């Protein structure tokens, strides 16, 4: 449907022809003076922004003369028939199978996207076919027709179709791929074979991951939840969410195991563990250093802390404590043990970096910022501790046998056990 605009004098008429996406001007011979400003005002009122060059070309090609009472074009959109093509933002030829082990070397070939980001979209080929890209109002010409029912059917696991923008978006973070039915899907859980993971360089896993088998001498960083279907031996590991180890954690020294969520495992031996959440285990924690912000909870019938230092910021409940060989064991409730241990570790790293201040200038600056942040969080934790309700009392409970020597601490109170005891319970006393 055409739209007609006229000036107050009635001698300038602007016709917007929607079918041809063009604007035609008619100058009426009424004897009244035609004001150029009237023409400009009508063009502005109509919202015409582009197509002027195309109109001039049309006038030249058709040898049109600007005559009174005869419409002539001032803006034209040379729209051509265009088709819509589905463009992928990943390699559709790389086949993935959820639940099957993936070669870690493939990670470099896969495209990682965050939740909400587009992974594919329909677009027109107007750039290749020639003609106008924009209509006379400056709007991008809509691509060719899209079969909406078929388009929606191509949205697979963890992918949504946006009918307005004609694109497919990730509903989770992960790796987009095409399944055997040609649907766009998103892999949000990685499965890796432990024996295929290299020990020479750090491997970063940005999504929930499962490692099958015993993992040894590896350096892992997982940005989500990590499950090890076996043992962890001599590894360095950082996990931003929860860590599940179906086997044992053994000889993970140095930076050790650092987890921002909860830890679930069977046994820990000769290892260092920083845990911001709770630690749950079902065996022996032996000659290890633990700093947990949350609770340390052992299996009610089969758990023991023997040797080393175990610290919790909440409470500790285990079946047994102490070492048959008489090795000293320390079990403690402390204020923010996780933050204090992390701060101590970073301070030691800073001392080493300052041995070469010029070569490590960037690393020093970054570490100093992290130390300041950790100190601030430690202050916040202390304030929360001081404001806690009186009924919130910390405790250490050993349901079964406790063999000396064991040093128990519940905040300011200490108890050095010299003789074997049963059913030991230490509860914080308010002064």
300-309 confidence digits (pLDDT tens)? 999 999 999 9
> Is the pLDDT at 189 greater than 90, yes or no?
yes
Higher pLDDT, 30 or 243: 243
348: pLDDT strictly greater than 80:
yes
The pLDDT of residue 129: 47
Within 198-257, residue ranges assigned H as helices are: none
More confident residue, 94 or 31: 94
- Backbone torsion region of residue 231, taken as left when φ is above 0, otherwise alpha when ψ lies between -120 and 50, otherwise beta: beta
Residues 385, 293 contacting (CB under 8 angstroms): no
pLDDT at 74 over 50: yes
Nearest one of 255, 247, 207 to 231, comparing CA atoms: 247
- Pick 17 or 141 by higher pLDDT: 17
For 124, how many CA atoms within 13 A lie in the half-sphere containing its CB?
A: 20
The reported pLDDT for the residue numbered 140 is 64
For residue 82 the two structure tokens come to 């265009």
* pLDDT value of residue 256: 93
The answer to whether the beta carbons of residues 218 and 204 sit under 8 Å apart is: no
Average pLDDT, the chain: 88
Quick check: 410 and 425 in contact, CB under 8 A?
no
CA nearest 298: which of 285, 311, 282? 282
pLDDT band at 143 (very low <50, low <70, confident <90, very high): low
**pLDDT, tens digit, for every residue of 85-125?**
888 999 998 888 888 888 877 888 899 999 999 999 987 65
* Per-residue confidence band for 68, with pLDDT thresholds at 50, 70 and 90: confident
Mean pLDDT for 140-165 is 83
Count of alpha carbons within 13 angstroms of residue 414, beta-carbon side: 5
pLDDT per residue as tens digits for the range 358-394: 888 998 899 899 889 888 888 888 888 878 887 888 9
Q: Residue 144 above 60 pLDDT?
A: no
User: Is the confidence at residue 40, as pLDDT, over 60?
Assistant: yes
Predicted TM-score of the model (pTM): 0.75
Q: Where are the domains of the chain?
A: 3-76, 84-187, 190-340+390-427
Q: pLDDT at residue 43 above 80?
A: yes
Q: Work out the average pLDDT over 260-267.
A: 97
Rounded percentage of the chain residues whose pLDDT exceeds 90 = 51
Confidence class for position 1, pLDDT limits 50, 70, 90:
low
What distance in Å separates the CA atoms of residue 74 and residue 254, rounded to the nearest whole number? 76
What letter does residue 63 receive in the DSSP assignment? T
Q: Hey, is 191 helix, strand or coil?
A: strand
pLDDT of 23 strictly over 90: no
**Confidence label for 48 from pLDDT (cuts 50, 70 and 90):** confident
* pLDDT greater than 70 at residue 277: yes
User: How does pLDDT run across 194-211, given as a tens digit for each residue?
Assistant: 998 887 788 999 999 999
| Percentage above 70 pLDDT, the chain | 94
CA angle centred on 126, ends 123 and 131, rounded to 5°: 160
Confidence of residue 231 (pLDDT cuts 50, 70, 90): very high
């Amino acid at each position: 449907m055409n739209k007609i605009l006229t000036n107050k004098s009635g001698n300038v008429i602007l016709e917007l022809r929607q079918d041809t996406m063009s604007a035609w001007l008619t100058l009426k011979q009424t004897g009244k003076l035609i004001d150029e400003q009237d023409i400009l005002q009508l063009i502005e009122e109509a919202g015409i922004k582009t197509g002027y060059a195309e109109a001039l070309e049309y006038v030249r090609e058709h040898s049109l003369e600007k005559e009174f009472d005869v419409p002539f074009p001032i803006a034209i959109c040379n729209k051509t028939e265009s088709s819509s093509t589905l463009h992928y933002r990943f390699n559709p030829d790389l086949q993935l199978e959820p639940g099957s082990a993936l070669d870690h070397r493939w990670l470099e070939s896969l495209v990682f996207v965050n939740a909400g980001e587009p992974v594919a979209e329909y677009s027109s080929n107007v750039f290749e076919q020639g003609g106008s890209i924009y209509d006379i109002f400056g709007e991008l010409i809509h691509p060719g027709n899209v079969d909406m029912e078929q388009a929606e059917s191509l949205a697979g696991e963890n992918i949504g179709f946006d009918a307005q923008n004609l694109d497919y978006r990730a509903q989770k973070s992960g790796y987009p791929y095409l399944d055997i039915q040609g649907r766009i899907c998103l892999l949000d859980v990685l499965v890796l074979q432990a024996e295929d993971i290299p020990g020479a360089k750090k491997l970063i896993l940005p999504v929930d991951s499962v490692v099958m088998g015993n993992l040894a001498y590896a350096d892992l960083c997982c940005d989500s939840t990590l499950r090890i279907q076996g043992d962890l031996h001599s590894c360095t590991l950082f996990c931003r969410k929860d860590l599940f180890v179906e086997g044992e954690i053994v000889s993970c020294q140095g930076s050790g195991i650092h987890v921002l969520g909860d830890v679930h495992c069977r046994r820990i031996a000769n290892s260092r563990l920083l845990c911001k959440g709770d630690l749950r285990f079902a065996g022996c924690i032996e000659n290890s250093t633990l700093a947990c912000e949350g609770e340390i909870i052992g299996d009610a019938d089969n758990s023991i802390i023997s040797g080393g230092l175990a610290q919790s910021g909440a409470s500790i409940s285990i079946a047994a404590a102490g070492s048959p060989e008489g090795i000293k064991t320390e079990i403690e409730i402390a204020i923010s043990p996780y933050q204090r241990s992390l701060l101590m570790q970073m301070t030691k790293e800073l001392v080493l970096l300052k041995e070469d201040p010029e070569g490590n200038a960037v690393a020093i600056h970054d570490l100093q910022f992290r130390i300041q942040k950790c100190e601030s969080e430690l202050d916040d934790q202390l304030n929360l501790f001081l404001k806690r309700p009186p009924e919130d009392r910390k405790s250490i409970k050993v349901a079964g046998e406790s063999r000396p020597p064991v040093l128990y601490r519940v905040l300011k109170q200490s108890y050095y056990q010299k003789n074997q005891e049963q059913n030991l319970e230490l509860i914080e006393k308010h002064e």
